[in-house]
Every structure is written in C-alpha cells, then in structure tokens.
Amino acid sequence: MTQLTRAILIVLDGVGAGENPDAHAYGDEGASSLEHCAQAIGGLELPNLGKLGIGNITPILGTPARQEVVGSYGRMASAAAGKDSTTGHWEMTGVVLSKALPTYPHGFPTEVVTAFEQAIGRKVIGNKVASGTEIIKELGEEHVRTGYPILYTSADSVFQIAAHQEVIPLTELYQMCEVARSMLTGDHAVGRVIARPFIGTPGAFQRTEHRRDFSLAPTGITLLDRLKDAGKDVIGLGKIEDLFAGRGLTQRDHTETNHEGMDSTLNWLEKDFTGLLFVNLVEFDMLWGHRRDSQGYARALRDVDQWLPQLQQRMRPGDALFFTADHGVDPTYRGTDHTRECVPLLAYGEPIRAGVDLGVRPTFADLGQTLAEAFGVEALTAGTSFARILGLV
C-alpha cells in the first residue's frame, strides 16, 4: 500500500451531479447540472474525466459510463442546510450546518440597513440582489455624485459594498466592511462581507483587484484545522481562504480565474509539501452557471478535462487527487440561483484503489473524514470515512 503524502482536492464550484434527496424543499426538483449542460449543447465530451469515472456518476451525453476506469467514483449528497459555497466547503471539511446562512433575495431589512448607515455616517444606495458589474453601471454615477456606498447581495450569503476608490478610499471602504462584519451576527451572520472597489468614469466603470473578503469563521473544527494542528501543510488556492476566514491554512494563493487556479496547482505540485492542496475553481458558478450559459459552462469543463493530463504527469507516488463540488448551479434551470444537488466524487492516484463505486454518500463530510483518517489526524465530528474502501488505510 502506498502511503498518502499529498492530497489534491479540487472543487469545481457549482458543478452538480443530480438533485439532492431534499431538492424539493429548495424548489430545485430535477436539477442536474452536468446532465442538463451536456444535453443543452448536444453532447459534452470529457475523455480524461471519463477515464476517472465521471460518466459513471451521472448521465452525460458524450461521456458515457465506462466498464474500466482508472479512478474511483460516486456522488455525495448534502446534509447541511443551505446551498451556497461557504456551506458546501464547510460540510466537506466536517462542519455541517443545521441552519442555513442567511440570504436576502429581497435586499437587507430596514433595521440592518439603518444601523449600518448610522454606524458609517452615510446613507447607502442599492440594497438589492445584483450582479457586481451591472450595479456599478446602474448606480455608479449616483454614488460618485452623492458619496453613498452601493450595498448589494447575491444568491450567496454575502453583504457587498461597492465604492469608487477616488470617492471612498480603500482604507475607509475596508473599515466600513469591518463595521458591517462586527454588526452582522446572530440571525444576520452572513457568510462574507465583501469590499468591491471600482474605478473609472460613467459608462466605463471597472472593478479593481482590491476586493477584500471579511468572512465568518467556521463554526466548528474543520479538516484544515486538524491537518494544520498536526503539522501538515494546508495550501488554499482561489477563494478557499475567504470561505474559511483564512483559518487552518499554512499558505494561500488567491487566484481569480480557473486558468490561474489550474496553473497555480501545477506549480504547487512541483514543490515539496506534505498535506492538503485545496483548490477552488470558481468560474462554473461565477461566470456561467448563474447566467444560465450552458456553452460557457461546458467550455470550462472541457478546459479542466484538457488540463487533467498535465496534473496527472506531475503527481508523485504518494499523491491522491479528488474532484468534487460545493453545490449545483444547473445552467439550464429556471431562475439564476444555485441548485440543490448532489456533487461528483472522483478519486485517483497510486494510493487509490481504482474502479470502486462509492455510491451516494449521505454527506459531503464523508470526504473530510476520509482525508482525516488517511492522514492519521484526529477524526472530525461529522462524516463516515471511506478511506479503507479506497485502500488509503
């Protein structure tokens, strides 16, 4: 048996694999991101992911099930309340929320907005669900004229504040976010407060790279905490540090795009470390799923599929690779929200027994518990390990 040295956990953000058992409670009956995306474009060929077993998990037109695969495969159902990124990532690392993080499809209530305005000494404008690029087009000119920050939210549990850097300097915008973070507790404890600075002139406003997230810390002990406490490396790529408020990480690279995340993953695999490389590839959700763009969603999946052989070439004998997701965002479904779905589970590498059908796991936390056992650290409070089934212990 090859001892596990490094685990590469890649989250394809928003890539669901069929409705969750409780999808009806979320109004998401029949949602199936991978299946419906492939149908919508007339077929989606993912030959490299197919070799790992992705076609054995859920029907994908163009990527059929295979008799022989080099990975092991299954699906994981969500047991947590809520269908956002924070909830999904916490669940897969062992913290299963019994109450969903608050979302605000109709904007924030008056008492929250008024208290925030009083605390920062300014009125706000907006206060609705919006795309970040669209709301600065719509309200940017009024903001520049009045100095009122733009408040908005999304399908996720977020309180976002947009401001022009020449109207409200970055230090002041960040202070406003810290004020909001300290106020948003209890029933209004949103997952993230996000500073969204922009520059430019009316008709040509653009967001800058100075976004900053002020996150809610996980409400329990995560796999990241266990690994770090045991002296392992825990490297977060993409928005991982935001989702965990930086906790449990030893190193981070806040990549913004899928390609940046994939390049950074390859770079990290050239380095010596022992522990977890935790990667979030966000564009399935951020760019394509919410916009219900099946072509873009499929293109992003093909990009990952074409990149996979480069990743495999850089894997060492003690490396195990896992692909999963945090929720669905079916690009063919009604509305623009996330969809309550099971997520894919693929496992590959020398330490992994190939061809194992892992079935449907009852919680994402099974993955975190599996990695905890495989690394020999203290068990998490949720989840059932399948490390033995995979040959990891």
Amino acid 211: pLDDT: 85
Q: Which domains does the chain have, with CATH numbers?
A: 6-99+218-375 (3.40.720.10), 110-215 (3.30.70.1250)
Amino acid 131: pLDDT: 85
Amino acid 168: pLDDT: 98
Cβ atoms within 10 Å of 372's Cβ, excluding its own: 23
In this prediction, residues 360-369 reach a mean pLDDT of 98
* Annotated binding-site positions: 13, 285, 290, 326-327, 338
The residue with tokens 């990527």 is 63
Contact 163, 136 (CB under 8 A): no
Cβ atoms within 10 Å of 110's Cβ, excluding its own: 9
d(CA 53, CA 75): 11
* Annotated binding-site positions for Mn(2+): 13, 285, 290, 326-327, 338
Pairing verdict, β 206-207 and 150-153: unpaired
Q: Cβ neighbours of residue 177 under 8 Å, at least 6 residues apart?
A: 161, 193, 194, 195, 212, 214
First-to-last alpha carbon distance for the chain, in angstroms, is 8
Amino acid 1: pLDDT: 66
- Is residue 165 scored above 80 in pLDDT? yes
**Of 298, 279, 276, 280, whose CA–CA distance to 289 is shortest?**
298
d(CA 23, CA 19): 6
pTM for the model: 0.93
- E runs forming strands in 49-100: 72-76
H or E element at residue 152: strand 150-153
Amino acid 83: pLDDT: 94
Pairing verdict, β 233-237 and 251-253: parallel
Contact 14, 344 (CB under 8 A): no
For 182, 257, 295, 308, 377, the CA distances from 322, given in Å and listed in that order, are: 36, 20, 25, 12, 19
Q: What percent of the chain has pLDDT over 90?
A: 93
Tens-digit pLDDT profile for residues 295-342: 999 999 999 999 999 999 999 999 999 999 999 999 999 988 899 999
Burial class (CB in 10 A: 0-12, 13-18, 19+), 113: middle
Amino acid 133: pLDDT: 87
Q: How many residues does the chain have?
A: 393
Amino acid 210: pLDDT: 87
Q: Cβ neighbours of residue 172 under 8 Å, at least 6 residues apart?
A: none
Q: Cβ neighbours of residue 114 under 8 Å, at least 6 residues apart?
A: none
Q: Which residues pair with 281 in a beta bridge?
A: 12
Structure tokens belonging to residue 108: 């924030």
Tens-digit pLDDT profile for residues 255-285: 989 999 999 999 999 999 999 999 999 999 9
Amino acid 155: pLDDT: 79
**Of 184, 134, 118, whose CA–CA distance to 157 is shortest?**
184
Tens-digit pLDDT profile for residues 54-85: 999 999 999 999 999 999 999 999 999 999 99
